[in-house]
Chain A
Amino acid sequence: MIKCPKIKCGYENPLANENCVHCGTFLGFPNVNECLQKEELEALEKRYKEKVDSAAGNGYDDSRIEFEEIIKKSMAVINVNLDDLHMFVVGNNTLYSSYQLQTGGETRDFAPSEFDRERLGIEGTLFGSYGRNIRYAALSIDGKGLKSYGDFTIIISDTAIEERATLLEENSYRFIKTHKILAGDISKRMPRGYRAVWNDRSKLTVARLLEKALLTTVENYAKIVLLSTGNRKTDDFIEVHIYGKLSNTSIQAVRGNSENVREQDKDMIERIKDYLTADSRQWIEE
């Protein structure tokens, strides 16, 4: 539960609430509030400390610090295909959206949860009722993303998400399987210490990956943090959960290969590049 911060109110709200049901005061982003629960923070700290102490005991403190410093500069990336990228960068601008039909209630009201039990199982277990507000990304230290999700990588600006992003130490599907988590009450069934707020991402990454990092060199850190195999089932990454919508202003840079785009789609890629340039955002040619 989370207590409403308004002194006159103080109503106890479920963690999944974004606003106080009693007075409407903003309670914070539900995913962030969950990760900031005392038990959650303590469990993460414990896992982190164990790894730090172990590294120090074995004379790897410098390497650990180096790894951790690199992770502190890591970013959230989302891979998409060309059409999604165009929609994200160009299509949502007023000039383009003026020609769209108005969204109908039928689309807005669609509740797949009643149809897709597996989806509900995983998303519902991890996020409860606010799962629909979560956007998924992956943690990356070199700005490269998961090709199995699309050829273009959107690098999200830190300032756009630092207050509303949390991390799960691996892909949700795999996490649920690994920890044999059952659908239901998240607070009772979710193991502690495997999630973190954005600013604690280095702790979570150290807790999960320090041993692997110490066995290799700095050049390979990127692949330890995000392994893109081209197959969603074998990709290995730290999942980033962003609460709420992302807009084209959330973009820091886009990475992709514009030469490989088919001839008929060249106009699309050029519009994307022009828009990024116009807003002083970077296109990184692969």
Chain B
Amino acid sequence: MIVKAFVSGQVARSIYEEDEKLFILHVEDTDAARDCTPYDYNLFFSSGAEIKVFEKISIEELRENLLKEKTCFDALHGAIGGMDKTLSEATRTLSIRRAENLVKEPEIFEFIKSRFFGNPVPAAADLKGALKLSKRNNLQDMGFVYGMLIDNKDVPDKILQIFKKTIFRLSLVEDLAKINNIFITAGLFARIFICIAEKNRKELNRLVRNYRIKTGMKNQETVISQILRKMSDELSGVYHLDKEESSFQGKFKQEENTQSFDITGLFKEFQLERAGKKYEKGGSREDRNIREKIESQIDRIVK
């Protein structure tokens, strides 16, 4: 069993610790990993690449995660390359085509949307050029992503501003980077972006109500729900969201793994908890207050 593994899709490698030694594994290594030398270690950690940490996983799981991360970043680099004015038109087209091929896999498409809709558009990004190349080459999925951002260019930035303000108000500044990463990786910023782009208050409310994810942070579910609720209130005001159902539903994957948007199931779970079958009363005063508020909110919705 691997104690700890550092995985980077961007450099297609993992450095992991097993039996008090460090090993390095490349995504294409089919044989056993080799010893990690100072050269490997320093190159990996000084590369500037995004690194994910995994704990207590098997070598097979590590290989699987490494490949997934590498594929995600291949798609991301392709998608960004499409907007990159430094590149020739041929290279930009090649880049978008690569991303388009990879986003046929829904999980990869979710990853691209979570990064593109979850981050402010960099000033250097040429979205219009990217859309033009996508249309010319009939690359529809990437064309959709670029098009959404062109139509709502300032929205990711506004979402981030309100997010930061909310974090500040809730005195969570110390955890800003961690919570920000959770919002991006869980696709929360992207989902909020879609709701605003579609002026879909109902979907935004549903996101706030039904969010749940397990990532190990203390009281995280409560914290994230709290942030979402406050952001939702403010964003709804800023963007004058109505309550019409969105036409976007088909484009947006709602059900997956740890993020359930099945309201009935979720309510049942809450009701069971409230009946004391899974849920122990306790925690801090603040926790209890939040819980009571959530319960009363559920009651109102159920009724």
Tell me whether A280 is interfacial, beta carbon within 8 Å.
no
Tell me whether A80 is interfacial, beta carbon within 8 Å.
yes
Tell me whether B134 is interfacial, beta carbon within 8 Å.
no
Closest-CB distance, B1 to chain A (whole angstroms): 15
| Known contacts A81-B26, A96-B80, A115-B17; A122/B51 CB under 8 A | no
Closest-CB distance, B121 to chain A (whole angstroms): 8
Neighbouring A residues of B6 by C-beta, 8 Å: 107, 110
Q: A266 vs B90: C-alpha distance in the bound complex, in angstroms? A: 11
Contact A271 B91 (CB under 8 A): yes
Q: A284 vs B8: C-alpha distance in the bound complex, in angstroms? A: 28
Tell me whether B39 is interfacial, beta carbon within 8 Å.
yes
| Known contacts A90-B77, A267-B81, A270-B94; A99/B37 CB under 8 A | no
Contact B177 A102 (CB under 8 A): yes
Closest-CB distance, A84 to chain B (whole angstroms): 5
Bitwise, B1-32 to A at CB < 8 A (1) or not (0) is: 00000100011110101001110001000000
Specify the chain B residue showing the minimal Cβ separation from A100.
Answer: B50
| Known contacts A84-B11, A101-B185, A268-B77; A173/B37 CB under 8 A | yes
Contact B47 A271 (CB under 8 A): no
Q: How large is the interface on A (under 10, 10 to 19, 20 to 34, 35 or more residues)?
A: 35 or more
| Known contacts A87-B47, A90-B77; A271/B84 CB under 8 A | yes
Residues of chain B in range 47-76 having any CB-CB distance to chain A below 8 Å? 47-51, 53, 70, 74, 76
Q: A116 vs B20: C-alpha distance in the bound complex, in angstroms? A: 6
Residues of chain B in range 174-226 having any CB-CB distance to chain A below 8 Å? 177-178, 180-181, 184-185
Contact A106 B53 (CB under 8 A): yes
Tell me whether B106 is interfacial, beta carbon within 8 Å.
no
Contact B38 A87 (CB under 8 A): no
Contacts A95-B84, A119-B37, A132-B42 aside, 8 further interface pairs with beta carbons under 8 A come to: A83-B10, A91-B77, A101-B180, A102-B177, A266-B94, A267-B98, A270-B91, A275-B86
B contact residues vs A (CB 8 Å cutoff): 6, 10-13, 15, 17, 20-22, 26, 35-39, 41-43, 45-51, 53, 70, 74, 76-78, 80-81, 83-84, 86-88, 90-91, 94-95, 97-98, 115-116, 119-120, 122, 124-125, 177-178, 180-181, 184-185
